[in-house]
Amino acid sequence: MFNFQLKKTAVRRALLLNKIIFFRRADILFGICLLASLTFLSLFILKDYFYTEINFLGWSGLFFVSSLLFAEMDLFFKNSVKNPKILISLQEAVSSMEKINIAELLHFDAARIVEKAENMGGVDSYLLLYFLLKEAREMDFVFYRLLIDKEHAVREIEGLFEQRGRVAGGGYADCFVDTMKDALVIAKTRGGERITNEDIFVALSEHNRYLQGILYRNGLKKKEVLELVSWQRRIKEKENPWSYRNLIKKGRIGTEWASGHTPFIDNFAIDWTKAMKFAGFPETVGHDEEGDSLERVLSRNEMNSLVLVGKPGSGRKSIIQKIIKKSFLGESLSEVNYHRFLELDLPALLAYAQGFEQTEKMLDEIFKEATKAGNIILIINNFHNFVGGEQRPGTVDISGILSSYLHISEFRVIGITSYAGFHQYIEANPSVLSLLEKIEVKEATEEDTLILLEKKAVFLEGKYRKLISFAALKKIISVSARYIRDVPFPEKALDLLEESVVYVDQQKKGILLPEHVEKIVSEKTEVPVGEIDAKEKDILLNMEKLIHERMVNQKEAVKAVSYALRRSRADVDTRSGLIGSFLFLGPTGVGKTEMARAIAAIYFGTEKRVNRIDMSEFQNISDVSRLIGSSQEDGLLTSGVREDPFSLILLDEIEKAHPDILSLFLQVLDEGHITDGKGRQVDFRNTMLIATSNAGYQTILESVEKKEEWEGLKNKVLKNLFNKGTFRPEFVNRFDEVVLFNPLSKEDLITIAGFQLEKLAEKLKEKDIEFKVTKKLQERIVEMSYDPVFGAREMQRAIQNNIGDVLSSAILRGELNRGESFSIKAEDFSILKE
Amino acid sequence: MWQISEKRGIFSLWFLWHYLIALREIYLGWKDIFLFVLNYFSISFLLKTIFSPWRRYRFSFRGGFDIGKVAEVVVFNVFSRALGMAVRTAVILMGIITAILVIIFGVFIILMWVLLPVAVIFGLFFSLQCLIFN
């Protein structure tokens, strides 16, 4: 049973009193009375300058007392009458929904909206939404960020009232009941005390068809509305400036007097604590677990130095900032509270010191000072640059002197490093490693990143005078997650936001929209991002036809590849892997490589986007470093994809590669990424991978000769290959499709001969010489070169040897000149001028 | 149906709010400021470290017995501690004075709040009397 009786609630009294101006505008009346009191008091002081009978002091007193009265009324009305005490928590209310009057839980503003709707008769979700949009100021922010015209929506709902009619009998429609119940659950989930207008709006996004339509058109769901409303709430929430927590940000006198002076360190260090205090201790988001670990390590008596390992941009410094804030406010563990966090500026020290000996002496002085001071926690950024490895400008090996201090309990260091730096230098230095605790910093979550983006958006809006839409922020999260892989969250999203705002500023536009974000990502990654444009749609829909303009036969292969591309670009692919992955099996010269080139030219725009790797060069396991790189060299496969992430990878003669090298591709095919020899993650999700092999071609040829059915042939070929150990089943199974290329018939080859000769004719056309290709010539070429084992490859040789040679000699002898037209006699390959 | 919100007459609600809820809020605000003063002047910390050497400046005695060196170390350490104690005592005294002022101010505000309704009634009465009869 649904109980909802606004008239029987405590907040109802506030609704009634709100109609009286003395309560509703008590704050303004207070101001007016106070001003009047002060004016009369001034006149009383100045009364000697003019003659009047008016009792200024009496009026001043009356207005002053009235101002006190209105102040009291205002405070009483806002704090008590509008917020009647609720005797149960929302948790209990949700579990006992049938036994309570849900209207009792409404916030005053929400009750006001419901009252307005009730005054119109029966209430449904449309009436509720109508008054919510018309009266609730909270909705301004939501609609502003969604770039939706609120007034237009109000007018549309008014139009709907006429079509739909009203709820009969003055009761509550089902959609209203569901909205209120859902709003209660939403309020409970966010940890609120009452149901607010925002909660009702989020609930309406689920139960009102009109609102659902608006949100759908803007690509938003209930979850996103909830996030948007939370953003608004975070902006509204302001810390009371007189609260203890806010006051203690001013610091305290005398804490440092019990600690030593650090004049030497101060010359070569950046005081993070001071910088944080100056910035007003900005709020940090996420990384709670890492922060807790950091506090625990620092508060230990032994092994209290640590190294933070994570990708640059994953928020390693913000973890330290979080602890600095807690330490400054005395909210951390006692061993960490009221400490100074100083970043050692080693490059500055190296620039100052002359030679390694002096550097060591200065460092010894610094470390001694830090130990004696007793309240210093040293931060060393890019820690890996200072603990071994080869000496480069701006680096030095301080591991010797550092390890002699690290066992002292009053000497604490936080090193910041990357995974590559940690593995390459720190792990290779056991004397330092054994004295440091390692804390790994995970990439920030998308939820935390969105909060950070919202904070930065407000700042950037002020700086560039642009509006940043909520949809643009959501787009930044989704595209940076998908297309930018070598930088972690939140850095990549924050950078993308700033870059997009600058782009909008350059374009002299006022609002940052999702398409601007897509444009920037497309430029950065060279991957087409966003809505599929008309040209691309045309290509995708006519893929088979376009490929067949360059390819003869092989319909099955063409179809499989075309389907994969359409699935990928229409975003209906559920796999996390590549655009498509195919294993092409078939005899040589049947068009496997040509097909890959055709796809690159048609879909990727140019044949240059083929990253062709001859796998016969990778027959030993030691060749793996040439493929995925090592600390000394770049990998053929990985560097190619890093430079051109939107490309086609063609692995020719895959069967010749070492089986362990083939295993590397399992992860690529499964998850769409691989870690290269330098520890960087390489993203393959915007690539298509085609592996070609002529393994098993004998089986195909035999079957064709015996005229066996094509359907069962693939299984037969694969079974043979598994039995021979050419490929492992787990490798082959990871491809989207294994495509068999059938041997070319004489007719196919005649057509291909036509393609080849036309190519030659195109070249001659550039010299203004017209070469007319005849059918007889095509047939003659095929007759000379037909061999099912070698396919079209032999034909290329025949054209080169018979026609190419004749033409080149004729051109050199001056027998073929500009403006002339000729054909070639099929019988003896002689030139026939026309 | 469960009673889930407190329902009172308007006067009783006002009385409860003015003399209990709002008074408690004022008290909590006053307490925050008082605690801030104690924190700002680090009174408890300074008391704990009152005899600690100033900025940890401390000499230690090394080597063989040399009455001159011993005297020098002792004098320096005593001076360092005395300096620390003097500065800390001054700050503690400043803190205590500020805390007392905050207490007095808090009591004054609370009294004002308690008397506010009476003051408003009397104020209205006297100012109207003043206007009507003068």
Between CA A654 and CA A671 the distance in angstroms is 20
Domain boundary among A210, A236, A262: A236
Residues of A in contact with B125 (CB under 8 A): none
Q: Do B45 and A258 touch (CB under 8 A)?
A: yes
| Range of the structural domain that residue A803 is part of | 746-833
Measure A262 CA to nearest chain B CA, in Å.
10
Measure A435 CA to nearest chain B CA, in Å.
27
Q: Does A241 reside within a domain?
A: no
Residue A186 has pLDDT above 80, yes or no: yes
State the average pLDDT for chain B: 92
Residues of B in contact with A72 (CB under 8 A): 18, 116-117, 120
Q: Do B54 and A58 touch (CB under 8 A)?
A: no
Q: Please indicate, yes or no, whether residues A619 and A718 belong to a single structural domain of this protein.
A: yes
Model confidence at A550, pLDDT cuts 50, 70, 90, reads: confident
Whether chain B has a CB inside 8 Å of the CB on A105: the answer is yes
Instruction: Copy the structure tokens of residue A288.
Output: 């709670």
Task: Show Cβ contacts of residue B113 under 8 Å, excluding neighbours closer than 6 positions.
Answer: B18, B22, B23, B26
Q: Does B77 reside within a domain?
A: yes
Q: Please indicate, yes or no, whether residues A265 and A366 belong to a single structural domain of this protein.
A: yes
Q: Do A80 and B52 touch (CB under 8 A)?
A: no
Residues of B in contact with A62 (CB under 8 A): 124, 127-128, 131
Residue A715 has pLDDT above 70, yes or no: yes
Domain boundary among A415, A440, A465: A440
Instruction: Copy the structure tokens of residue B100.
Output: 């007392």
Model confidence at A576, pLDDT cuts 50, 70, 90, reads: low
Q: Which of B1, B6, B91 sits opposite A10 (nearest CB)?
A: B6
State the average pLDDT for chain A: 90
pLDDT at A101: 94
Instruction: Copy the structure tokens of residue A821.
Output: 């037209």
Q: How many domains does chain B have?
A: 1
Measure B33 CA to nearest chain A CA, in Å.
7
Q: Does A770 reside within a domain?
A: yes
Q: Please indicate, yes or no, whether residues A433 and A454 belong to a single structural domain of this protein.
A: no
Q: Please indicate, yes or no, whether residues A679 and A823 belong to a single structural domain of this protein.
A: no
The predicted-structure confidence for A768-814, as pLDDT tens digits, reads as follows 888 888 888 888 888 888 777 777 777 888 888 888 888 888 888 88
Q: Which of B4, B88, B91 sits opposite A88 (nearest CB)?
A: B4
Please report the residues numbered 52 through 71 in chain A whose beta carbons come closer than 8 angstroms to any beta carbon of chain B: 55, 57-59, 61-62, 64-66, 68-69
Q: Which of A10, A65, A260 sits opposite B56 (nearest CB)?
A: A260
CATH of the domain at A644: 3.40.50.300
Measure A282 CA to nearest chain B CA, in Å.
20
Q: Please indicate, yes or no, whether residues A418 and A347 belong to a single structural domain of this protein.
A: yes
Chain A residue with CA closest to B120: the answer is: A65
Between CA A404 and CA A431 the distance in angstroms is 10
For residues A369 and A265, is the Cβ–Cβ distance under 8 A? yes
Between CA A555 and CA A581 the distance in angstroms is 17
The predicted-structure confidence for A349-362, as pLDDT tens digits, reads as follows 999 988 889 999 99
Residues of A in contact with B133 (CB under 8 A): none
The predicted-structure confidence for A246-264, as pLDDT tens digits, reads as follows 999 999 998 888 899 999 9
pLDDT at A210: 93
Q: Does A591 reside within a domain?
A: yes
Q: Which of B31, B54, B120 sits opposite A68 (nearest CB)?
A: B120
Residues of A in contact with B109 (CB under 8 A): none
Q: Please indicate, yes or no, whether residues A226 and A373 belong to a single structural domain of this protein.
A: no
Whether chain B has a CB inside 8 Å of the CB on A100: the answer is yes
Window from A393-402, A569-578, B64-73 with minimum mean pLDDT: A569-578
Q: Do B5 and A84 touch (CB under 8 A)?
A: yes
Q: Please indicate, yes or no, whether residues A593 and A676 belong to a single structural domain of this protein.
A: yes
Chain B residue with CA closest to A99: the answer is: B1
Measure B70 CA to nearest chain A CA, in Å.
22
Amino acid in position A360: E
Q: Do A86 and B130 touch (CB under 8 A)?
A: no
Instruction: Copy the structure tokens of residue A526.
Output: 């060279």
Mutation pick from B11, B34, B36 vs chain A, by most beta carbons of A within 10 Å, is: B36
> Strand A673-675 to strand A437-440: parallel, antiparallel, or no bridges (unpaired)?
unpaired
Q: Which of A58, A248, A260 sits opposite B36 (nearest CB)?
A: A248
Cα radius of gyration rounded to whole Å, chain B:
28
Q: Does B101 reside within a domain?
A: yes
pLDDT at B9: 92
Residue entry with tokens 């398409």 = A515
What three-state secondary structure class fits A681? strand
> Strand A340-344 to strand A269-271: parallel, antiparallel, or no bridges (unpaired)?
antiparallel
Q: How far is CA A366 from CA A152, A371, A432, A480, B82, in A?
A: 67, 9, 18, 42, 28
Window from A310-314, B41-45, B129-133 with minimum mean pLDDT: B129-133
Model confidence at A573, pLDDT cuts 50, 70, 90, reads: low
Window from A133-137, A223-227, A441-445, A532-536 with minimum mean pLDDT: A532-536
Residue pairs between chains A and B whose CB atoms are closer than 8 Å? 139
Measure B71 CA to nearest chain A CA, in Å.
23
Q: Please indicate, yes or no, whether residues A617 and A580 belong to a single structural domain of this protein.
A: yes
pLDDT at A532: 55
Mutation pick from A65, A105, A240, A266 vs chain B, by most beta carbons of B within 10 Å, is: A65
Measure A227 CA to nearest chain B CA, in Å.
30
Q: Do B41 and A254 touch (CB under 8 A)?
A: yes
Residues of B in contact with A100 (CB under 8 A): 1-2, 4
Mutation pick from A252, A256, A261 vs chain B, by most beta carbons of B within 10 Å, is: A252
Q: Do B7 and A10 touch (CB under 8 A)?
A: yes
Whether chain B has a CB inside 8 Å of the CB on A193: the answer is no
Q: How many domains does chain A have?
A: 6
For residues A196 and A107, is the Cβ–Cβ distance under 8 A? yes
Q: Please indicate, yes or no, whether residues A752 and A736 belong to a single structural domain of this protein.
A: no
Q: How far is CA B39 from CA A249, A252, A329, A333, B118, in A?
A: 11, 6, 10, 17, 36
Q: Do A65 and B88 touch (CB under 8 A)?
A: no
Q: Which of B5, B126, B127 sits opposite A10 (nearest CB)?
A: B5
What phi and psi, each to the nearest 5 degrees, are found at residue A376? -110, 135
Q: Which of B4, B35, B117 sits opposite A104 (nearest CB)?
A: B4
Give helix A514-525 / helix A491-506 axis angle, nearest 10°: 110
Q: Do A13 and B46 touch (CB under 8 A)?
A: no
Between CA A500 and CA A466 the distance in angstroms is 11
Residue A212 has pLDDT above 80, yes or no: yes
Residue A377 has pLDDT above 80, yes or no: yes
Measure A277 CA to nearest chain B CA, in Å.
15
Instruction: Copy the structure tokens of residue A15.
Output: 């609704």
Mutation pick from A244, A255, A328, A368 vs chain B, by most beta carbons of B within 10 Å, is: A244
Mutation pick from A2, A53, A105, A253 vs chain B, by most beta carbons of B within 10 Å, is: A253
Please report the residues numbered 334 through 393 in chain A whose beta carbons come closer than 8 angstroms to any beta carbon of chain B: 372-374
Q: Does A1 reside within a domain?
A: no
Q: Please indicate, yes or no, whether residues A200 and A66 belong to a single structural domain of this protein.
A: no
Q: Does B3 reside within a domain?
A: no
Instruction: Copy the structure tokens of residue A108.
Output: 């005053």
Mean pLDDT calculated for residue range A735-756: 85
Tell me what percent of chain B is helix, strand and coil, each rounded to the nearest 5.
Answer: 80, 0, 20
DSSP state of A123: B
Q: Please indicate, yes or no, whether residues A761 and A700 belong to a single structural domain of this protein.
A: no
Model confidence at A580, pLDDT cuts 50, 70, 90, reads: confident
Between CA A324 and CA A720 the distance in angstroms is 65
Chain A residue with CA closest to B83: the answer is: A257
Residues of B in contact with A11 (CB under 8 A): 5
Which secondary-structure segment (H or E) carries A610?
strand A610-614
Task: Tell the burial category of A512 from Cβ atoms under 10 Å away from its Cβ (0-12, 13-18, 19+).
Answer: buried
Q: Please indicate, yes or no, whether residues A144 and A39 belong to a single structural domain of this protein.
A: no
Give helix A746-765 / helix A775-785 axis angle, nearest 10°: 120
Model confidence at A52, pLDDT cuts 50, 70, 90, reads: confident
Between CA B74 and CA B72 the distance in angstroms is 6
The predicted-structure confidence for A160-171, as pLDDT tens digits, reads as follows 888 876 666 678
Residue B47 has pLDDT above 70, yes or no: yes
Mean pLDDT calculated for residue range A56-77: 94
- Other CB atoms within a 10 A radius of the CB of residue A538 amount to 12
Closest CA to A826 of A776, A792, A791, A761: A776
Between CA A367 and CA A361 the distance in angstroms is 10
CATH of the domain at A799: 1.10.8.60
Instruction: Copy the structure tokens of residue A277.
Output: 């205090």
Give helix A592-602 / helix A555-569 axis angle, nearest 10°: 30
Q: Does B2 reside within a domain?
A: no
Whether chain B has a CB inside 8 Å of the CB on A259: the answer is yes
Mean pLDDT calculated for residue range A295-321: 95
Chain B residue with CA closest to A240: the answer is: B29
Chain B residue with CA closest to A61: the answer is: B127
pLDDT at A388: 76
The predicted-structure confidence for A403-423, as pLDDT tens digits, reads as follows 999 999 999 999 999 988 898
Between CA A589 and CA B46 the distance in angstroms is 89
Window from A427-431, A544-548, A701-705 with minimum mean pLDDT: A701-705
The predicted-structure confidence for A602-613, as pLDDT tens digits, reads as follows 888 888 889 999
| Range of the structural domain that residue B81 is part of | 10-133
Residue A310 has pLDDT above 90, yes or no: yes
pLDDT at A168: 63
Residue A110 has pLDDT above 80, yes or no: yes
Residue A574 has pLDDT above 70, yes or no: no
Model confidence at A512, pLDDT cuts 50, 70, 90, reads: very high
The predicted-structure confidence for A142-157, as pLDDT tens digits, reads as follows 999 988 899 999 999 9
Domain boundary among A525, A552, A569: A525
Mean pLDDT calculated for residue range A624-642: 89
Q: Do B123 and A65 touch (CB under 8 A)?
A: yes
Q: Does B110 reside within a domain?
A: yes
Residue A347 has pLDDT above 80, yes or no: yes
Q: Which of A69, A86, A242 sits opposite B120 (nearest CB)?
A: A69
Mutation pick from B6, B83, B127, B131 vs chain A, by most beta carbons of A within 10 Å, is: B127
The predicted-structure confidence for B75-103, as pLDDT tens digits, reads as follows 999 999 999 999 999 999 999 999 999 99
For residues A366 and A344, is the Cβ–Cβ distance under 8 A? yes
Chain A residue with CA closest to B123: the answer is: A65
What phi and psi, each to the nearest 5 degrees, are found at residue A611? -100, 90
